[in-house]
Each structure stands twice: as structure tokens, then as C-alpha cells.
Amino acid sequence: MPQINHFKRWIRRDTTPRRWGTWLMSTAAATAEALGHAGFDFLVVDLEHVPVDANETIHILRAIGNTSAQAVVRLAWNDAVLAKRALDSGAQTLLFPFVESAAQAAQAVSAALYPPAGTRGVAAVHRASQYGADTQYLAQANTEICVIVQIESPTAITAFDEIASTPGIDAIFVGPGDLAASLGHIGQMNAEPVQTALRELAARSHALGKPCGTVAPTPELAARYVEYGYDFIAVASDIGFMMRKAGEVLAQVRS
């Protein structure tokens, strides 16, 4: 059966509840599957900062597909080849990092969509088309692909309205880590200029009719992003959960 992108439908609907996710940093398919069963709405498969190859990506996507969670694949760069490989592997929602202009946003859209809407290369048999069993894949793929661009620099903030208004952009994602660094507050996401930018970008995104998402290292910071109006929020990561709990347990037993 054709694959429906539930994540794309979720973020399109104003009446849909806020969606919660987490980041996958461990490269482990079993961890991805477990977190999907834990109840997260979406899981971010990070190909930018995590050493995951194409074959491992397929295993992780297959594991997530065994749960109710949706996969959001962050590419290593805004690159047509990387986008094509992720899409052929079965990704439907792509997160393009470090987009700073409308031209770069349009480049991301073009890489994600088949002609005539874009320039994605065509293959009939791959995991996304169920190895050719989904005979409607080529005709329906563009409808189900979700393109998200990541805002994480002052240059991107300046061009925000043009980026968000680019045809084919489904949502905006604000990356607080790189945003903090680019604003001169590396490692300090709670710094006032960073939080001001996060609050203002959510408002600007909604004014343009675009859903917006971000990531928070803690539930407390996530609650603040709810107040700002973010529509989908990733909280911490698989490794973050493990390290935090490990620290708590070690503190208890050593005391």
C-alpha cells in the first residue's frame, strides 16, 4: 500500500495537538524502535552529527516503521545526492540543516521532489517504493514528502520571511544550539538573545502560516517552547536520556 506521511498531516492541521519527539544519537536500531514504542510522535534520525551510513539508516527507518512514531531524517547538508539517498531509503520527512536564504530553501525543495516540481533522480526499485511493489509511488511521492528547513544563524534570521515563504517548504525548524553559537553564546541556549530569537521566530513562522519546531535538552526548556508556540518539539536524545539516568544512578549508589 502507498505510504502516508502522517507527520506531514499532523503539522498541517491547526487542531492537531502539539507533537513530541526525541533525537537519535546512538546509531542503534533497537534504541530507535524502543523509543518509538515508548510513545514519541517522531524520532529524528540525525545524519549530520551522528556517524550513520546508508545501510544503517535503512535499519533505523525499518525499526521506527515498526512503531507508531514517524521518522524525521536530518541530512548532513543541503545536498541533492544526500537527499536522494535518504528518500530512496524510505525517508519521507527531510530536515535540511543550515539554510540561510530563499535560494537554498528552493534548492532543498528541488532535491526532495520528482520532476517537474523538482530534480530528484528517478529509480523504480528501492525501499521507498517497496522495491517496486508500490506501483503508485512515483505518482504520489511528491505529495507525501515533507521538507523542513533549519534556521540557525543571524543570516537565516534576516532572510527568515523569504525562506519560510519559499514554495514547497512545509515547516521551519529552529536549531537552538547552532543559533546560540552564531549569536556569540555557544553552549548557552538560555541566554536572553537566544531565547528572544526563538520566541520571535515562532511568532514569525505562524504569521506566515508555517508550522515550526525546535529541540529542547530538558522538559523545563521544552515547556518554555510550548509557551512560545512551537508546534513540534524534540526533547533530549537517546544518549541524553541514558547519560542523565546513569548519572542519577551513580550518584545514588556512590552516596
pTM of the predicted model over 0.95 = yes
Nearest of 171, 124, 125, 129 to residue 151 by alpha carbon: 171
Tell me what percent of the residues of the chain surpass a pLDDT of 70.
Answer: 98
**What mean pLDDT value characterizes the chain?**
96
pLDDT digits (tens, 9 = 90+) for 213-237: 999 999 999 999 999 999 999 999 9
> Catalytic amino acids?
49
124-172 pLDDT tens trace: 999 999 999 999 999 999 999 999 999 999 999 999 999 999 999 999 9
Question: What is the model's pLDDT at position 111?
Answer: 98
Surface-to-core class of residue 24, CB atoms within 10 Å of its CB (0-12 exposed, 13-18 middle, 19+ buried): buried
Q: What pLDDT, on the 0 to 100 scale, is given for residue 12?
A: 84
| Architecture of the domain delimited by 6-254 | Alpha-Beta Barrel (3.20)
Residue 16: is its pLDDT beyond 80? no
For 67, the grid coordinates are: 512503531
Read off the DSSP letter of residue 119: -
| Cell numbers placing 225 | 517552547
pLDDT tens figures, 82-113: 999 999 999 999 999 999 999 999 999 999 99
The residue ranges of every structural domain in the chain are: 6-254
What's the pLDDT score for residue 13?
66
